[in-house]
Amino acid sequence: MESFENFIKRFFSFLAGPILGTVLGFLTSIVLTWLVSPNDFGVFSMFSLAVQIFSIVALLGIDQYFMREFHGSTDKSHLLWNCVLVNLIFSIVISIFILLFTKPLSRLLFGNVYISVIIILALVVPLLMLYRYGNLLIIMSEKGLTYSFLQVIEKLSNLLFTVLIFFFLGRKFIALPISQLVSIFVMFSFVYRLTSNFWKRTYVDFSIMKDSMKYALPLFPGTLLAWLLTSMDRIALRTYTDFNEIAIYSVAFRMANIFGIFQGAFSNFWIPTSLRWYKNKVEITKFEKVMQSLGTILLVLFTVLLAFRNQIFLIFPSFYRPAITMLPFLVLEPVLNTLVQTTHIGINFSKKTAYYTLGMGLAALLNFFGNILLVPLYKGVGASISTGLSYFAYFWFLTVWSRKLWEKFEIRKLLFITVTMVLLALLGLFITNTIYWIPSIVIMLFITRNEIFRMLSVIKLKKLP
């Protein structure tokens, strides 16, 4: 049985880096809003969206197969190379596709022809794939401090290269994608050195490649749906509004991703932990208490962020102040994505991955129609509402099916937490003054006091729940 000290130590070793990384990422966002025009910032947001979309397709879910097989593999270098080879083939095909359709793709994304930017996009896709595997090696080895260190270095290098390239090129849009390309290249080179013991040459194993494809292909429809779910808001904004509105929305989106520190860090910590607990047949109450404790923490932090968002946005140019009303529902995405990591595990344990596709399909469909209905009327605010409610539906679809496929874990507290978040987000559309939010924080602390006291008592007693 793992001791409390080791459990907490491992969790915070994964959390420390993302916290510092998020601070640096936040500073980078502030710098960008002051360095570039809103129009250029909106155009760069579309470039980032394209990177995200093509990277998801290039990985195809093979990285998930790699994570699942890592601990059971006797030759991890052999597993690594054969998984990377499959993804490298897909990445090269996608890069060729990007280069073949340079002009139409550029007009679709940016409303103009930027050949150099499309070339950078084609180079970023395979590089980002390799960097993903380098990170996975560290995550699956459970080297939390190393992972945290990398998160800080990544954000720091991104900020540094952005400032340096702007200094040499001036306030030109091309400086943004160049800085991203350079940062990814430098980070992969660094990660490669740290994980060089895994990158040993080996032979092509068609059985591994075949197994990885068998595992990944059922996930591919879900991958496409994930693309639609995560991209529909900006696609709708690109269709119905202009780059200035996209820029405002992107700032709100980046602000919401402050919660990404918990999503990324907790996911990287929880996946190997939950798999080990399941293998060791740990009692269900232990899983339940992780769900409830995490939900309570996220609810309190969610309320605090909504209360003080006015003060945060004072740091940005006044042009971006409308993002204040877009933030509440956008925050639901990383918050619910973090919480669902604890509830969907029954689907993972039972290996019924088709339910991820169904859940993603439901959420993507809701988001598609939600954006069509709301964006023409309310622009960025409409996109945020559609996105937030879609992730609410996604959370509960996976949670309900996880209970049916695995254990009937307690969900009443989770229902209270998630519904309260939606109601607070709705309230946040109309009330932005911090003074009116202070009572909400007090009430929230009072309602969740029992769970907070329980967590504090666990820490005091130094034992796992």
**What does each of the 465 residues of the chain score in pLDDT, given as a tens digit?**
555 556 555 666 556 666 776 777 778 888 888 888 888 889 898 999 899 889 888 888 888 888 878 877 778 888 888 899 999 999 999 999 999 999 999 998 988 888 999 999 999 999 999 999 998 888 888 776 777 778 778 888 888 888 888 888 877 788 889 999 999 999 999 999 988 888 887 788 888 888 888 888 777 777 778 778 888 999 999 999 999 999 999 999 988 887 776 677 777 778 777 877 888 888 888 888 888 888 888 898 898 888 888 888 888 998 999 999 999 999 999 999 999 999 998 888 887 878 888 898 899 999 999 999 999 999 999 999 999 999 999 999 999 999 999 888 889 989 999 999 999 999 889 888 777 777 777 777 777 666 666 655 655 544 444
In this structure, are residues 335 and 264 in contact, taking their beta carbons and an 8 Å threshold?
Answer: no
Residue that the structure tokens 């669902």 belong to: 340
- Measured from the Cβ of residue 38, the count of other Cβ atoms closer than 10 Å reads 20
pTM of the model: 0.80
Q: What angle do CA 118, 35, 326 make, to 5 degrees?
A: 85
Residue-wise DSSP of 190-243: HHHHHTTTT-------HHHHHHHHHHHGGGHHHHHHHHHHHHHHHHHHHHHS-H
DSSP annotation of 259 reads G
Q: Where are the domains of the chain?
A: 1-204, 219-465
Q: In angstroms, rounded to a whole number, what is the distance separating the alpha carbons of residues 38 and 248? A: 8
